[in-house]
Structure 1
Amino acid sequence: MSATGVSFEKSKSWLLVDCGEATQHQLLRADLSPYHLSVICISHLHGDHCYGLPGLLASMAMSGRTDPVYLIAPQAVVQFVMSTLALTQVTLPFDLHTMAIEQTDQFISLEFCYIEIIPLKHRVPSFGFKITEALIPRKLRIKQLHSEGIASGPHYNLLQKGQDVIYQGQRLAANTYAFPSWRPRSVIVCGDNEKPSLLSSYCDDIDMLVHEATFTHPDLMRVGTHTGHSDAKRVAQFAQQYQIPALILTHFSVRYHGEGMLDVLENEARTHFHGNLRLAYDFLVLTVPKQLLSE
């Protein structure tokens, strides 16, 4: 069952990609609180990616959340959720803003993050999500301000907040006199996808790729290449080609369940990818380091 949380330290709000069965139960043991869950992205309509959603929303209602929640998902998933809530007579105390992917712009701007929707290839329409942080403290270019004779005052604070100001009849552009403290961090979290190359135009500036590796390459060749899934070799080669710093593999076939059974997947991926590689497990927490910027 798939569920991946993404959070940034400057906001209590966080984002969830996919919501397989028992997601709400696992969240009871995680550091991320459903009360602060603001955005839910569902990659496709298969049950291992969305069956946990009605229960999670009901639990969020019981937690007392009143702030709006955004659901970004295929139209069929939106219909499934709304029908289930109606049939079970669940009344949400918060506004659920549903955004059907088929009718939504590929770029969505929210308070704490930006989301790009990436079409993938699976047996049904499937999507990935590029999530980029938005709330980054800004630093003033103090030397430049002083060199131009711009004395300190309330306008400094406004510039630092990203607002243009008028100073002694002159317009000061915030982007000229202030800059982000660090480079925005980005991660791509994918649904099921048999063609990693579809991510090519989105990978130049990402810090981490979360992608399924359902099979090893030899096993995929045996079961057929059009399963709608990827193998560890193909994903690792792609991540190496685009010099992605961190690769997280998920969504493993049940044939690899059991002690030591995932080693063959990890070994195959490490042969082709030389960055930070992890195989996902429940409650895995990873931190993307900041790349600080200077004047």
Structure 2
Amino acid sequence: MLHFTFLGTSSGVPTLTRNVSALAIRNSKNKDWILVDAGEGTQHRIQQAKLSLQNLVAICITHVHGDHCYGLVGLLASAGMNARIAPLTIIAPKEIQQWIEATAQLTDLHLPYSLNFIDVNEAAQILRITDELSIQAHPLSHRVPSFAFSIIVQHTQKKLDTQALIQLGVPKGKAWGDLQQGKDIQFNDQTLKASDFIQTHIQRVHAIVGGDNDQPELLAQSCQDAQLLIHESTYTQAILDKVGSGPMHSSAKMMAEFAQKNNLGNLILTHFSPRHQDQIGQRAIADEVHQYYQGNFYLADDFDQFSLDATGQLSKVKPK
């Protein structure tokens, strides 16, 4: 029900193999998608991932640090040059709106579509973006105000109880079609109410995408009904201990312990320091997670794709 494409998994600066933070999340039932963060170069990654800016319904920016937002204005401009006219929702710190407006004024930028800007501080309640996609923001702990976003997709399926109709002897055809459309019908001198023959099934999945954060426990309550947490794991614990508390990031150990304590079934880690991006560094991150977490987890690479199905099962999608 949710499809994830990692467009950037490096922290701070891009490297030869990883761009800075950006994540595309698509409703697998249609082409609607959401972008969480837009570090420099994100629009190139979007092109390479064959995502259309025409189908982008919302952009969420976790915080104002450049590796999470410097690609935003260029992306907006390109969407306009590609003839986008549909309004676009942006959920972000109010400073992002000020930056966009100042940049537009100073660089003669004119967008042919409107921006529906929502201050992230006002997104504490669930915001419906489309009929099926909703977003909610959760405050985190970082050097500047930082947020996580709940991404929720809910599908309602209505199925006709055909066995009951067969037992009553209601013939297939118009009668069944009317009931399927919610219309009551007359049959054998009695009224058959559509509501008695429609079975409603609700499918809901909930993923949380965190910004930079040194206190994973802030997400404990919001993770109670989440099937997946995507979170930064900038360092191993040993490196974080050497670096100190100044950068205000999480380690692999911190995230693993949090996920285990809160019974999270799925965990994807991203936003790795360049010192952890080679094979040895990634193995050190993975080994640390294995030590403290028994659930299903992945370390994300650029262009990795994952699918979260209606049962909450997470799987990595093989490239075509």
TM-score range, shorter chain: 0.7 to 0.9
Report the TM-score, using the length of structure 1 for normalisation. Answer: 0.87
Over the residues paired in the alignment, what is the CA RMSD in angstroms?
Answer: 2.5
Aligned to 1:115: 135
Taking CA–CA contacts closer than 8 Å with sequence separation of 6 or more, which of the two structures ends up with the larger relative contact order? 2
Any conservation in 1 of the 2:133–2:154 contact (CA below 8 Å)? Answer: yes
- Structure ID, larger Rg: 2
1:84 has 2:84 as partner:
no
Identity %: 37
Could you say if the C-alpha distance between residues 38 and 261 of structure 1 is closer, same or farther in structure 2, counting changes exceeding 3 Å? same
> 40, 43, 58: which one pairs with 1:24?
43
Any conservation in 1 of the 2:235–2:251 contact (CA below 8 Å)? Answer: yes
Aligned to 2:118: 99
Shift of 1:140: 3.6
Could you say if the C-alpha distance between residues 202 and 170 of structure 1 is closer, same or farther in structure 2, counting changes exceeding 3 Å? farther
Shift of 1:4: 0.7
Give distance in 2, aligned partners of 1:150 and 1:80.
63
Query: Please, which runs of 5 or more residues in structure 2 have no aligned partner?
Result: 1-19, 313-320
Residue deviations 1:12-62 (CA, integer Å, cap 9, x gap): 110010000000011111032222111000001111111000000111111
Any conservation in 2 of the 1:185–1:206 contact (CA below 8 Å)? Answer: yes
Worse-superposed segment, 236-245 or 64-73: 236-245
Give distance in 2, aligned partners of 1:267 and 1:76.
39
Any conservation in 2 of the 1:239–1:273 contact (CA below 8 Å)? Answer: yes
- Structure holding more strand per residue: 2
Worse-superposed segment, 222-231 or 111-120: 222-231
SS at match of 1:123: coil
Residue deviations 1:216-261 (CA, integer Å, cap 9, x gap): 1122122223532110011011112222222111111122233432
Could you say if the C-alpha distance between residues 223 and 92 of structure 1 is closer, same or farther in structure 2, counting changes exceeding 3 Å? same
1:5 has 2:24 as partner:
yes
SS at match of 2:25: strand
Report the TM-score, using the length of structure 2 for normalisation. Answer: 0.80
Q: How many residues align?
A: 285
Aligned to 2:212: 192
Aligned to 1:58: 77
User: 1:106 is matched by which residue type in structure 2?
Assistant: Q
Q: Trace 1:36-55 onto structure 2 (pairs within 5 A).
A: 36-55=55-74
Residue deviations 1:194-234 (CA, integer Å, cap 9, x gap): 11111111122222111000111122122223532110011
Aligned to 1:178: 199
SS at match of 1:260: helix
Could you say if the C-alpha distance between residues 155 and 55 of structure 1 is closer, same or farther in structure 2, counting changes exceeding 3 Å? same
Aligned to 2:88: 69
1:230 has 2:250 as partner:
yes
Give distance in 1, aligned partners of 2:142 and 2:205.
27
User: 1:97 is matched by which residue type in structure 2?
Assistant: N
Give distance in 1, aligned partners of 2:218 and 2:164.
43
Aligned to 2:260: 240
Could you say if the C-alpha distance between residues 145 and 46 of structure 1 is closer, same or farther in structure 2, counting changes exceeding 3 Å? farther
Give distance in 1, aligned partners of 2:109 and 2:287.
46
